């Protein structure tokens, strides 16, 4: 009996050490995914003076994009743009260009959230003067060629202007629909031009 009791203490210590060793090994073995930096919101690529374009499956141009700087983040597959510029080109229709101070795009840039001073410019065509829409923020759905905002908007075209809160834009149809608090002055196309006094 004495031999057994003298062996219990060293065996107990050895079992505790084995258990601690197994626990330490388990605790220190982290999955590779947590050590690759993907859980941090750090850019894995920074590009300057970026110019690109996106085509649909048939090879038709959906839009062109330019930016002073683009930062890509691998943790959520987003990109941040400095001074982005989007251009929607539709055959037989004036080009629509969107500029902003900053932007953030989801994966594959299907949705681009623009901020700062956002300007939408539609080029002049035929009898239509160029159009300018200004708003502090705009969400662009690039593949659908649509955009929307819930913020204040000011639209000017020639001598006409209109402002409101909230706007829906369809770049393919080139329509701009203000949602609320709309007011403005629209110049009639039939108004006679006043001759300057001599």
- Higher-pLDDT residue of 86 and 107 is 86
Residue of 83, 8, 100 lying closest to 49 (CA atoms) = 83
For the four alpha carbons of 169, 173, 176 and 179, in that order, the dihedral sign comes to negative
- Higher-pLDDT residue of 24 and 198 is 24
User: pLDDT tens, 116-147?
Assistant: 999 999 998 887 889 999 999 999 998 888 99
Query: Contact at 8 Å (CB) between 87 and 105?
Result: no
Give the number of other CB atoms < 10 A from CB of residue 18: 10
pTM above 0.85, yes or no: no
Which residue has tokens 């210590």?
Answer: 13
In whole angstroms, what is the distance from residue 144 CA to residue 141 CA? Answer: 6
User: pLDDT tens, 153-196?
Assistant: 999 998 899 999 999 999 888 899 999 999 999 887 666 555 45
Please state whether beta strands 160-170 and 131-141 pair in parallel, antiparallel, or not at all (unpaired).
unpaired
In whole angstroms, what is the distance from residue 160 CA to residue 155 CA? Answer: 8
Q: Where are the beta strands (DSSP E) in the chain?
A: 45-55, 61-73, 78-82, 85-88, 96-99, 102-105, 111-122, 131-141, 146-157, 160-170, 175-185
């Amino acid at each position: 009996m004495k031999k057994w009791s003298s062996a219990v203490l060293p065996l107990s210590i050895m079992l505790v050490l084995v258990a601690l060793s197994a626990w330490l090994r388990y605790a220190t073995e982290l999955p590779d995914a947590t050590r690759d930096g993907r859980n941090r919101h750090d850019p894995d690529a920074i590009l300057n003076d970026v110019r690109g374009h996106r085509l649909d499956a048939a090879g038709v141009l959906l839009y062109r994009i330019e930016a002073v700087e683009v930062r890509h983040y691998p943790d959520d597959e987003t990109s941040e743009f400095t001074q982005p510029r989007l251009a929607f080109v539709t055959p037989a229709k004036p080009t629509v260009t969107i500029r902003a101070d900053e932007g953030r795009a989801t994966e594959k840039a299907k949705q681009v959230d623009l901020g700062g001073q956002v300007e939408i410019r539609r080029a002049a065509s035929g009898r239509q003067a160029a159009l300018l829409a200004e708003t502090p923020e705009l969400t662009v759905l690039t593949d659908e060629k649509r955009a929307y905002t819930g913020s204040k908007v000011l639209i000017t075209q020639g001598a006409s202007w209109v402002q409101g809160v909230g706007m829906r834009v369809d770049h393919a149809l080139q329509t701009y629909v203000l949602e609320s608090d709309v007011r403005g002055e629209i110049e009639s196309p039939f108004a006679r031009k006043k001759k300057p006094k001599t």
